[in-house]
Amino acid sequence: MKRDVKQGLEKDPAGAAGTPDGWVAAVQLTERWLARSERVDALLEGLTPALAPRERARAQHLFYGVVRWAGRLETALVGLMAHPPRTKVRAVLHVAGFELLEGGADATAQIVHHAVGKAKNVASPKEAGLVNAVARKLAGRLAEKPASLAEEFAHPDWLVARWEKQFGREVTRQLLEWNQRAAPVYARWRDPAAPVPDFLAPTNWPGFFEVKAGRWDEVRRLAAAGALYVQDPSTRLSVELLAPQPDECVLDCCAAPGGKSLLIADTMKTGRLVALDEPGGRLDRLKENLTRAPQGVTVSLAQADLRAVASPFYRQLNLPETYDAVLLDAPCSNTGVMRHRVDVKWRLQEGDFAQHGRQQLELLHAAARMVRPGGRLVYSTCSIDAQENEQVSKAFFDSRAGGPFKLERSALAYPWKDGHDGVGAFLLRKS
């Protein structure tokens, strides 16, 4: 089966007429995700270039919808088939199921008819008959009132219970609704002196614009030219707290893929920026982004685990051993960015919060050693969980290493209040 899934994705997704088809591409992506639990971003990167922009957008929309609503779709499918079908057929039912959720009762007949027709080509005529029978029953199941918030909004039970304990039921509902909506695409315009294209719509956050649908080719061209960077407005908060100044020496500790590094460089305009991260697949994007830094900023890239290196490492690379400002945007649960990272909720485990907290505190201790007297350190996450934000900050100040530091400011952004991704950021000043 695995070999069949792989071969299916490598072929051009086509409808009956042989034209590359976003619906079929979504089925192939879903098939592979169901079979292997591969990361959504990695699957999308492998999407065939033969798809036209409109069909590519359709494939992504359908696939994201399936992943967002997978829990509810799986629950609704329970008991509708005597025997488990092929993964390909499950994928067809998931895509059709998302369309049924999105389209409502009035569109049921059209959605089922379309799914059956496609199933004849991507599966077999016999399996298309199964799709016809199951999809009609599935429509009725999906129209029923869900038994719980977790089922209604397709999130794990334990995670919803955790949020209800932290935020209360009504706020949790607002967060779940937020996570289930498709995310707008935002871009940061990098040159304030240059005119902003009309297709970039202003937002509540200066310098950030919403990218309207159908202009992705132009956005790609402008990004390649360095005019803009695709970036959520929430990313500005940690850099605003850091407040990098011209001619300062700044260290970005967990820099890949480089969006915040580039924002730091754009803010400084002149000075020195060192971007540090562990070796891995995202370093290529970090290197590419650093090439777009303003000419007045000297940029260096260092590959290492921040916790495993000390002064000799920096000396060997002719890099500063202490810095005016240090940003630690630590790896986290990503609970603040689930609208963008739609598969995170299915990969996250209850024990991950404590594990992240321990790692984050280790990183914070390591980052603190890099701050010169009088310098600044910003600890940030894209989590909305106190165990990764306030509790890590408190644990640091309760330790011996926290003695020379004081907390000057903090910023906690919550999607249901701030209208963008969730963030925790803490500005620490060293005496």
pLDDT tens readout for residues 285-335 = 999 999 999 999 999 999 999 999 999 999 999 999 999 999 999 999 999
Work out the burial of residue 160: count CB atoms within 10 Å of its CB; fewer than 13 is exposed, 13-18 middle, 19 or more buried: buried
Q: What are the two backbone dihedrals, phi and then psi, of residue 178, each rounded to the nearest 5 degrees?
A: -60, -50
What percent of the chain stands above pLDDT 90? Answer: 87
pLDDT tens, position by position, 20-38 = 699 999 999 999 999 998 9
For residue 148 the two structure tokens come to 């719980």
260 φ, ψ (degrees, to nearest 5) = -75, -35
Q: What average pLDDT does this structure show over 188-194?
A: 90
Q: Which of 249, 253, 254, 382 is catalytic?
A: 382
Map tokens 């369309």 to a residue: 99
Based on the residue annotation, tell me whether 249 is a catalytic residue of this protein: no
b/e burial code for range 330-368 (CB count within 10 A of at least 16 → b): bebbbbbbbbbbbbbbbebeeebbeebbebbbebbbbbb
Q: Which two tokens stand for residue 307?
A: 């916790």
The string of DSSP letters for 296-345 reads TEEEEEEES-GGG--HHHHHHTT--SSEEEEEEE-----TT-TTTSTTHH
Rounded CA gap, 131 and 93, in Å? 7
Question: What would be the CATH architecture of the domain defined by 2-144?
Answer: Orthogonal Bundle (1.10)
CA–CA separation, 63 and 91 (whole Å): 10
Strands 423-430 and 405-413 come out as antiparallel
CA distance 176 to 365: 34
Omega cis (within 30) before 202: no
Q: Is the pLDDT of residue 7 over 50?
A: no
Neighbours of 326 (CB within 10 A): 29
Question: Domain-by-domain residue ranges, the chain?
Answer: 2-144, 151-180, 185-229, 232-430
Band (pLDDT 50/70/90 cuts) for residue 417 is: very high
pLDDT per residue over 63-94, tens digit each? 999 999 999 999 999 999 999 999 999 999 99
Instruction: Judge whether 2-144 and 232-430 match in fold.
Output: no
**Whole-prediction pTM value?**
0.92
Architecture of domain 232-430: 3-Layer(aba) Sandwich (3.40)
Candidates 290, 223, 225; CA nearest to 252 is: 290
Q: For residue 18, what pLDDT is reported? A: 54
**pLDDT given for residue 216 in this prediction:** 84
| Residue 168, token pair as written in the block | 């209360």
Beta bridge partners of 406: 429
Do 414 and 384 form a contact (C-beta atoms < 8 A)? yes
Burial of 390 (0-12, 13-18, 19+ CB in 10 A): middle
Maximum Cα–Cα distance across the chain:
74
pLDDT in tens, 348-378: 999 999 999 999 999 999 999 999 999 999 9
Amino acid 15: pLDDT? 52
Torsion angle of alpha carbons 87, 93, 97, 99, nearest 10°? 110
Residue among 232, 201, 199, 233 nearest 218 (CA): 199
The rounded distance, in Å, linking the Cα atoms of 26 and 32 is 10
Report which residue type is found at 198: D
Given a contact cutoff of 8 angstroms between Cβ atoms, the answer to whether 270 and 298 are in contact is no
pLDDT at 12 over 50: no
